[in-house]
A and B are shown apart, each in its own frame.
Chain A
């Protein structure tokens, strides 16, 4: 009987001619939607709450950031304050830490000072490999 032997005209292979087109379509989709993550910055570790450590004034370098961007630097055991620009802090820290390796940076920022100045000072300290940094807010 002829009906039983009739062969199917449908191909049993997946058509591959449009594969490249599909790939291009997907490629364009991913090209357009891709956003490379921008997860970077200056890391710090905050002290846990109620974690207060008494430090000798001798080992503190008080760094005061004023609203106009000037930075006052004073050793804990001294009354003399010198003024600098934020990007000079790296050099200041290197000089001070050479004299006292146990030095801690106590950064006190005025509440009205721009965040940018605090970042510039923190940047300088981190560039100079300062590890012990305390961030506080000064009195307005």
Chain B
């Protein structure tokens, strides 16, 4: 019997020991398209606040153009669009955006969890004065586990 190359013991595996790289470019393109579609470039930077947590947190059902962010820091400083603004100017900034959006503007009130309520109330009054009515108190989603531990 003629044995080729030592018989069954030295039989070579047909499976390649290399990771197939022909589809690498396709995967890269797929990821690229995903990130291109989902990317939203930042127009303003975040203020360093402690986010309050709430279990009932929900997504704002409005396009980004129709959301205005008002930051309230612990010491009562109000920041809109990367600028520190005095309280009585808030309504002057909100009013044109409210009209522009066709009465759809959502105001995301990003107040520090430890900020005294007087500042939050003062900003709410300014928003009301500008005629806007939709306010969202920005919160982080609270995990149920954390609540049970409390």
Could you tell me which A residues sit within 8 Å of B by CB distance?
19-20, 23-24, 26-27, 30-31, 33-49, 65, 87, 109-116, 118-120, 122-123, 126-127, 135-137, 140
Contacts and interface: CB of A to CB of B under 8 A. Distances in A.
23 contacts: A19-B25, A23-B25, A35-B39, A35-B41, A37-B40, A40-B59, A40-B138, A40-B141, A41-B58, A41-B109, A41-B139, A42-B136, A43-B58, A48-B133, A87-B147, A109-B117, A115-B72, A115-B111, A116-B52, A116-B113, A123-B56, A137-B118, A137-B121
Interface in B107-127: 108-109, 111-118, 120-121, 124, 127
**Consensus secondary structure, chain B interface:** mixed
Nearest to B34: A30
Given A40-B59, A87-B147, A123 B142 contact: yes
Contacts of A120: 52, 54
B81 interface: no
Contact of B139 (A37, A42, A46): A42
Contacts of A115: 52, 72, 111-117, 120
A112 to B, nearest CB: 5
B84 interface: no
Q: What DSSP secondary structure best describes chain A's contact surface? A: mixed
A36 B31 contact: no
